[in-house]
Chains A and B, each alone.
Chain A
Amino acid sequence: MNEAPVDVVLVDDHLMFRAGVRASLDGRVRVVGEAATVDEAVQVVRATRPPVVLLDVHLPGGDGGGGAEVIRACTDLLGGTRFLALSVSDAAEDVVAVIRAGARGYVTKAISGPDLCDAVLRVAGDDAVFSPRLAGFVLDAFGTAAGDVATGDDELDRLSAREREVMRLIARGYSYREVAGELFISIKTVETHVSAVLRKLQLSSRHELTRWAAARRLL
């Protein structure tokens, strides 16, 4: 790929982890700024206005809100700047908090360098990034029983049958391309479904979602 690299700002309070991410990113992504606290992050993001911010969920500083607080402080930039949450935590409440604040995806820190670059490019293209684990979260939160299927497009509290199928395939380790091949649809359609699920995750008032996030801790 010989397009211009995507600029990212790297926000994490561990210097060692930032160095590791920097080293693992390839030529498609360029780090233009780093920050270690909530206040620093807001400042750097506002100064550089990168297309993508790699954001740790747990950050010191600010009002103690961590990554979600950074996103909320930059809500006015969300049109041009997208946030990709990066965390070592498996706690459901962390995932849900940062996604609901407006992050476009969630990956764990165990991700490999090339996969992380793919995720950054995908987020830069305004697509959502769903790791298998996040897909598992979604299925768990929205329920997998047959009665839980949404019938209309405007229904926020339930997944449609197709969306659930996509989520299940992602949870099984399928890439977007493989999902498309399996369901005989285009990659673009898969991306649409995933974005729709992300929107539901962000906007749903399904009360189980919060209760579930607080009560359930996954493997």
Chain B
Amino acid sequence: MGITVMGFMNKIGYLFKEGFRSIAIHGFMSFASVTIIIACLVIMGSFSLLAVNIDAVIDKLESENEMLAFVDETYTQNQAMALEGELTAVPNVSKVKFITREEAMSEFAKDYENNSLFNEIEASVFRDRYVIYLDDISLMADTKVQLEQVKGIADVSAQLDISKGFVTTRNIVGAVSLVLIVILFVVSVFIMSNTVKLTTFGRREEIAIMKMVGATNSFIRTPFIIEGLTLGVIGSGLALALEWGIYTLITDKIMTSIAGSYVSVLSFNTLALPLALVYMGVGIVVGAFGGTIAIRNYLKV
């Protein structure tokens, strides 16, 4: 009996129907699988959101970490102002802000207004200067060297230790997040695979019968994959909704507390799309892999 087009369509329809039917028939195991996916995704997602927020805070602090480029004393203010274009052209410089020696003095006086030692200080003591903001703080040392080479710049002050601290913190947070996310992902696949294994253990006889009547491995595997995929998608959708609730609750608490004055958190709306895509991707991969791995042993007949 050859396979006709109609036969093929019926077969595809049948495999999908079997996948969905199996979810309904094995209700408890389906519920367990979805719950496990939700738990894994929410744990993994919460940690990722924490890491993203830490990263955003570091970003903000980095952007506030500035360098000062002091103009040669012999330059007039006009000559000093003319350096702006050249400084902006230095790689990694995002923007520059010119500050006259008078502005610098007034800033200094404001900082030390209660200190009589500096009361009589004159503007000539200060130099015209540029506040330099960088694109990438990790390249601060290189940028400092390049700024020093600009004719008319006498000295560059940079807090290299602080920038190194930021870079180190970011690297540690990034590495720890990555390791934890990978571990949680592997654990999710493992748990999911074991859950589907429990389901398939009860169905090994059914698989053996399928093999004996001449079913190909893909015919047997497809409903399990459809089942895993469906559970993965349902689980990831519910996990996203739960994550939204948890995140909104926690960030509202932070923003209305004293901590809200010092840190800012990203709104869920800005994170929802990437998070949804990651959840969906993980749900699909975990579901499909779980289904495939679980029945692998039973196909060797």
Q: Do A and B bind each other?
A: no
